Chain A
Amino acid sequence: MAKKEVDDRFKKFGTVSFTAISKTNDFITFLEQGKVMGTRCKDCGATFFPPRSDCSKCLQSNMEWFEVSGPGKLVSFSELTYGPVGFENDLPYIIALVDYGDYKVFGRISKDIPYEELKVGMGLKAVSNTLPNDQLNYVFTTP
């Protein structure tokens, strides 16, 4: 009997992924296609990032994907000098929160922007990114 195929695409997310299986696994396929996607509830219109498969506003599970596009505004950021186990080779790196109006996105700043050039309020866009260990994430860069 053939082994049941497990959809564990989410293990590809980030330098170290702590999740393998999620109903939002398509997020990884979109990243592979160069797109950063959130979800929108088809019933009540609520938008979500990070994407969710279930709506916390109306409790329906009827979602569609939308692309995170256009520049958002940098809300805050920090540069890590120490990292958790598995992230040593990435150091130093900068984490950040960017506001797109209807939703916010948490992620990393692209390596090509030094800490000193970052300013709260500046415009940044999210782009998909392949890490040196072939894992996938997204980073914020100048529009």
Chain B
Amino acid sequence: MGRVGIIGVGQSKFVRGYPGSIRELAFEGFKEAIEDAKIGIKDINASIIASAPEYDKQRSPAGVIAEYLGLIPQPTFYIESVCSSSSSALKVAYSMVKAGLHNVVAIVGFQKMSEISSSESQERMGRGADIQWESPFGTMMPAYYAMYAQAHMAKYGTTLEDLARIRVKAATYGQINEKAVYRKEVTMEMFTDPESNISAPVARPLRVGDCCANADGSSCIIVASEEKAKAMCEKPVWILGIGAASEAVNMAGRDLLTGLSVGIEAGKQAYKMAGLGPKDIDVAEVHDCFTIAEMMAYENLGFAKPGEGKDLIASKETYKEGSIPVNIDGGLLSKGHPIGATGGSQLRTIVLQLRGDAGEMQVKDPGIGLVHNIGGVGLYGNVTILGR
């Protein structure tokens, strides 16, 4: 079997309180991808819809969205792995194309976080982990990542200042990404200024500035068999490696608290499949739902040794001009994190980078890119390596 290529990418603007329904939101990312690929709706043989269903009022959204996008009677599938849903969908699409079942597949990720009220959202957030054994203690996503931050600080001497640097970088690029939800500057001083909301504690040691911006949004990635990709697309981007892993939902079942085991495992698989290593990566998108998550991703993907992620950000090596540019679109921290759309948005960023179409965010001539997308608190992890 030949390779699998990405022939079109699209993304809606990531916004607070999208003024439309979920199908209308999904339409925005899909339309942009179809126009980007310069193909027709009938060229698509199957679709995969991805979201985190706890935010949807619509039961089984796949059929509703496929119909709205004109993708019937082709088969449609629904994939969920919380925040990594759309990169999980990429792996399924890859498998379908490789198997010869379908030769052009559209992955549509979406999330309208504002579909439910903020109190409903708070209630769901409490059920984000093991509902039998952990949620009764009153757990929240920021608190779990705060535990990783605390353990990382204790073991490696990482500081709050080190974490703040990651947010300052994210905000640098959020300001130049017209699709980002958070377009303001964040400075180191704001993290120590008690008057600034950025410094307010959320789950100690993490502060508001350490947490990603919630948003509504959609993304779309269109993949094709090598034959179709070459025939339909001038600049296909090839999937060179694709890895996925899972971990115990309960913190008590985990051995590592200074990194995410799923990031390490999925990364190993992707590197092996691509026949590449961390030094070969020219540009990366990593899952920075919290600042500590990006710090751990540096180490888990081999961009830095364990405990040395702080040196990578302090020396600005993950900035656009650095040796390994990371999240040059603002990341989840500033671009925003509409759960089901996030993985697709990360993939889109890397595809644009490899094609040289990233505009003001363009990194100098990258040949190989990596996407690291995590679901839950390191419950699921997908790493994808892309090349020209």
A residues whose Cβ falls under 8 Å from a Cβ of B: 10, 13-19, 22, 49-50, 75-87, 90, 93, 95-97, 103-108, 115, 119-121, 135, 137
Check A84–B203 contact: CB distance below 8 A: no
In this complex, the interface size class of chain B, counting residues with CB under 8 Å from chain A, is 35 or more
Residues in B neighbouring A97, C-beta threshold 8 A: 147, 251-252, 257
* One of B131, B147, B200, B254 near A95 (C-beta < 8 A): B147
- Inter-chain pairs besides A95-B143, A108-B137, A108-B138, 10 sampled, C-beta below 8 Å: A15-B136, A15-B138, A16-B135, A50-B133, A50-B250, A85-B123, A95-B139, A97-B251, A106-B137, A120-B150
**Closest A-B pairs by Cβ, 5 of them:** A14-B136, A84-B126, A78-B146, A120-B154, A87-B138
Chain B interface (Cβ < 8 Å from any Cβ of A):
119, 122-123, 125-127, 130-140, 142-144, 146-151, 154-155, 200-206, 250-254, 257
Point out the residues of chain A lying under 8 angstroms from B140, CB to CB.
Answer: 80, 82-84
CA distance A13 to B126 in the complex (A): 15
For residue A96, which residues in chain B have a CB less than 8 angstroms away from its CB?
147
Q: Would you call B251 and A106 a contact (CB within 8 A)?
A: yes
In the complex, how many angstroms separate the beta carbon of B183 from the nearest chain A beta carbon?
25
Which listed residue, A18, A49, A80, touches B143 by the CB 8 Å rule?
Answer: A80
B31–chain A nearest beta-carbon distance, Å: 36
Q: How far is the CB of A89 from chain B (nearest CB, A)?
A: 10
Q: Can you list 24 pairs linking A and B with CB atoms under 8 Å apart?
A: A14-B136, A14-B137, A15-B136, A16-B136, A18-B135, A50-B133, A75-B257, A76-B150, A76-B154, A77-B147, A77-B150, A78-B142, A78-B144, A78-B203, A81-B203, A86-B123, A87-B126, A90-B138, A95-B137, A106-B133, A106-B251, A106-B252, A120-B154, A137-B137
- Rounded to whole Å, the gap between the CB of A72 and the closest CB of chain B is 11
Q: Is the CB–CB distance between A81 and B252 below 8 Å? A: no
Complex CA gap A104/B147 in Å reads 14
Give the distance in Å from the alpha carbon of A49 to the alpha carbon of B133 in the complex: 10
| Complex contact B138–A78 (CB within 8 A) | no
By the criterion CB–CB under 8 Å, are A14 and B135 in contact? yes
How far is A90 from B126 in the complex, measured between Cα atoms in Å? 14
Chain A residues whose CB sits within 8 angstroms of the CB of B147 once the complex forms = 76-78, 95-97
